[in-house]
Amino acid sequence: MKKVLIVDDDPSVTKLLATLLEDEGFIPIPITSGQRALDAVMEDAPDIILLDLMMPLVSGSTICYQLKNDHTTKHIPVIVVSGDGRAERKVREIGADDFLLKPFDLDDVVACVMKWCDQRDSISCDALAYQGDDIFGREQPDSLRAP
Amino acid sequence: MPGGGPVGHERLAGPIDAAAVQELLDSLSGVTGLSVQMRDSRGFLVPGGKEALALCELTRGSRDGFDPCRRQAVAHCPRVVGETREYKVHRIFHHIAAPIRSREQLAGIFVAGPFLRAPYSEDALGSVAVRLGLPIDQVLGGAREVPLLSDVQIEKARKFLSSLSTFVSAQVTLQETSGNAQADKARLEAVISGMVDGVAVFDRDGRVTAVNRAGQEILGRRRGPTSPYRPGSGLTSPASDAYPVDVLPLARVFNEGVSVVNAETSFRYGDGEIRTCLISAAPIHNSEGTITGAVAVFRDVTILKEVERLKDEIVSVVSHEFRSPLTAISGYTQMLIRQLSKKEGMEKELGEANLVLAQTQRLTTMVSDLLDISCLASGQFVLDKHSVSLPALVNAVADRLRGLSEAHTITVRAPKHLPPVYADADRIEQVLGKLIDNAIKYSPGGGQVLVTVKPNGDEARVSVQDWGIGIERKNVSKVFDRFYRVDNRESREYEGIGLGLHVTRLLVEAHNGHIWASSRKGRGSIFSFSLPLSGRNGETGGNVEKSSHS
């Protein structure tokens, strides 16, 4: 089962998302403080993160930027969930992977989370395969060799 | 005293030495026996010096009041522009008038006379006295004083007056021109010093050589004006570093010889206050084309900036604070609907929950519209433009909206191939969505909604037509106004606060397009918009470009 970290300063939103994702077979980890977000990532090693942007003290942008600049966490897909439609443009700047506009359609949330779980699975496989090449020092195919 | 006389006097009194002129006139009188006077442009005598009044004494009521001589002198002078002229008064007497002119205007008159060209008949003069209502004896007595002049004498007097008037005209013109230049300068100085914007003139080394009050305020309030363009001026950037001199507008003017318009620059003052100015600066060249200095205008926009920032903040806060509760309401209602739809016999409750959800979505749209309008109106709206195929976009929107109403059929007529438009697809989708939604809303009986895409010259035209309730002709032009709703009982049944169509207009205009409507009451409406088709390089004249990726 996939773990989904839900970061939003509004408890009614974290509770809603947690209930929804639990129904859909995920393990939700709701937290309502931006300050705790990075610790939670380290402790719980979530598979995917739903992140609000506008939060007191530590903003979602800061959290995302830090996650994406740390090689141990940068592979975790971050879906920004914001009420500010203009924030959609910021998604790429801060290194996030996707965007959901509040208020959201529950089906869209589920679809988005599933999409990124699937992608993560395939990315992980690619990463493993690539590692294998390195480890075993497999020869390059002839076609790629310089003449 | 009749009004205006003294003004005419003053015009002559300033520039010339009236006593010296009168002395000249008196000497002419001495030689010819003529009475010679200087009068202002209205014909009043200019006081000063000895006055030989002769016939005028006989025929006028008071010195400065109405008199026939004055009237005649003035009457003749406009006709003697540039020349000295002789004319007749009271049938037998002659005068010579010479105009004093300044800048194509009559400034005064020299009048010499009266004189006789031939012996007169006392009968004729008697009839003049009768006509003027004066005692015949008095007039005849006065007339005996009038000299009889030869042609040579008259010509000499004419030349003398002509020369004198030319000389005096030059004096008056000179005085008035330089007076005007001084008045212009004073006016200009008053305008500049009274300006709200700071104006400063700098020499080639960046030193302030002239500055108005507002400029002094901006450039330095304690130690008098200092130049912000010199190292050590004490003015620093908001980050409290000294400004790198090269980036300052005036440095650019000096180094590159260019004019700078509205360059935004912030200054930090010694007391920590930060002010933001828009600076426009231009070089001053000498006749050889070398830059000898610069002039700069400083507009303090600190308060405007602050207002802008506050507005941004409010928009942002509203956006967040309104959407949080909306998210919860909408989310839990959706949860409720999910649960209710799994149970039997809950159709009524399910219907009610769906109603709550629909109203929540309506409220969400209103909040979005308000935010969009706020951003679009303040020009902060950023369009994410790409090449967009309108037929594909229109079909996608129509497909998405088909589920909205079972009573309506959405038909799309679009050419297979159409050059792309350079647009923000999300925003055009928003416009289309609102127009189709509107068409459905205002055709409550159901029916067809026809969406047409076609090229029209160098633009693409999209129309959304319905056969619904329509709009009265007089109201058609107002439908795109902010908060406009067709105000009748019928339309109150239809939801909305009149923002949607206003948003469509702002969005289309942000794409350099146009939007319009045609409608007939009871017959339906056609809402259309046009967007410029992309040129070969995919660009159009659009000036609102995405900035975050550049």
The alpha carbon of residue A9 and the mean position of all alpha carbons in its chain are separated, in whole angstroms, by: 18
CB contacts < 8 Å between A and B, how many?
A: 68
Cα-trace Rg, chain B:
43
- Residue B34's pLDDT band, with cuts at 50, 70 and 90, is confident
- The residue to which tokens 């509040």 are assigned: A102
- Give CA torsion, residues B252, B257, B259, B265, to 10 deg: 10
Mean pLDDT of B384-407: 87
DSSP state of B534: P
Q: What is the DSSP letter of B417?
A: -
- Which residues, 6+ apart, have CB-to-CB distance to A103 below 8 Å? A83, B323, B326, B327, B329, B330, B331, B360, B361, B364
Chain B: nearest CA to A53, how far in angstroms?
A: 10
Residue B5: band (very low, low, confident or very high) from pLDDT cuts 50, 70, 90: very low
Yes or no, beta carbons of B331 and A16 under 8 Å apart: yes
CB–CB of A13/B324 below 8 Å? yes
Q: Is B108 helix (H, G, I), strand (E, B) or coil?
A: strand
Q: Give, in order, the Cα–Cα distances in Å from B272 to each of B236, B238, B263, B301, B308.
A: 10, 9, 22, 17, 21
Which of B314, B316, B319 is the best residue to mutate to test the A interface, defined by the most A CB atoms within 10 Å of its own CB?
B319
Whether the pLDDT of residue A117 is over 80: the answer is: yes
Q: What is the band of A1 on the pLDDT scale with cuts at 50, 70, 90?
A: confident
Burial of B290 (0-12, 13-18, 19+ CB in 10 A): exposed
- Name residue B218's amino acid: I
| Mean pLDDT value of segment B162-178 | 86
The position carrying tokens 């259309």 is B528
Q: Are B320 and A90 a contacting pair at CB < 8 A?
A: no
Q: Kindly calculate the radius of gyration of chain A based on its CA atoms and give it in whole angstroms.
A: 18
pLDDT at A49: 95
CA distance B125 to B139: 8
Testing the interface with B: which of A13, A21, A86 to mutate, by most B Cβ within 10 A?
A86
Residue B310's pLDDT is 83
The C-alpha atoms of residue B507 and residue B136 are separated, in whole angstroms, by 94
What band does B77 get if pLDDT is binned at 50, 70 and 90?
A: low
Measure Cα distances from B419 to B349, B460, B507, B537 in Å.
Answer: 50, 9, 21, 12
Residue B473 pLDDT: 83
Give the side-chain half-sphere CA count within 13 A for A13: 29
CB–CB contact B319 A16 (8 Å): no
DSSP string, B241-308: SBPPGGGSHHHHHHHH---EEEEEEEEE-TTS-EEEEEEEEEEEE-TTS-EEEEEEEEEE-HHHHHHH
Q: Decide: B385 and B423 in contact? Cβ < 8 Å.
A: yes
Residues of A in contact with B375 (CB under 8 A): 86
Neighbours of A126 (CB within 10 A): 10
Q: Report residue B365's pLDDT band, with 50, 70 and 90 as the boundaries.
A: confident
Q: What is the pLDDT of residues A45-79, one digit of tens each?
A: 999 999 998 888 888 888 998 899 988 898 999 99
Stretch B92-106: mean pLDDT: 82
Q: Are A103 and B323 a contacting pair at CB < 8 A? A: yes
Answer yes or no: is pLDDT of A30 > 90: yes
Backbone angles phi and psi of A130, in degrees to 5: -65, -45
ipTM exceeds 0.90, yes or no? no
By the 10 Å C-beta count (0-12 exposed, 13-18 middle, 19+ buried), B80 is classed as buried
Is B354 an interface residue toward A (CB < 8 Å)?
A: no
Give the pLDDT of residue B75.
Answer: 65
pLDDT band at B497 (very low <50, low <70, confident <90, very high): low
Q: What is the per-residue pLDDT for A90?
A: 78
For residue range B206-225, list pLDDT tens digits in order.
Answer: 777 888 888 887 776 544 44
- The confidence band for B537, taking pLDDT boundaries of 50, 70 and 90, is very low
Return the bridge partners of B65, or none. none
Decide: B227 and B221 in contact? Cβ < 8 Å.
no
- For residues A16 and B332, is the Cβ–Cβ distance under 8 A? yes
Do residue B338 and residue A83 have CB atoms under 8 angstroms apart? Answer: no
Stretch B251-272: mean pLDDT: 78
* Cross-chain Cβ contact B338/A103 below 8 Å: no
B44-57 per-position pLDDT tens digit: 777 644 444 444 55
B339 in contact with A, Cβ within 8 Å: no
Query: Which of B 168-207 lie inside 8 A of A, CB atoms?
Result: none
Question: What are φ and ψ of residue B529, in 5° steps?
Answer: -140, 155
Q: Which residue has the higher pLDDT, B251 or B506?
A: B506
**Selection from B13-27, B31-45, B344-358, B522-536 with the highest mean pLDDT:** B344-358
| Residue B350 to chain A, least CA–CA distance (Å) | 17
pLDDT at B544: 37
> Exposure string (b/e) for B242-254, b if CB count within 10 Å is 16 or more?
ebeeeebbbbbbb
Confidence of residue B435 (pLDDT cuts 50, 70, 90): very high
CA–CA distance, B44 with B11 (Å, rounded to integer): 12
φ, ψ for residue B467, nearest 5 deg: -120, 45
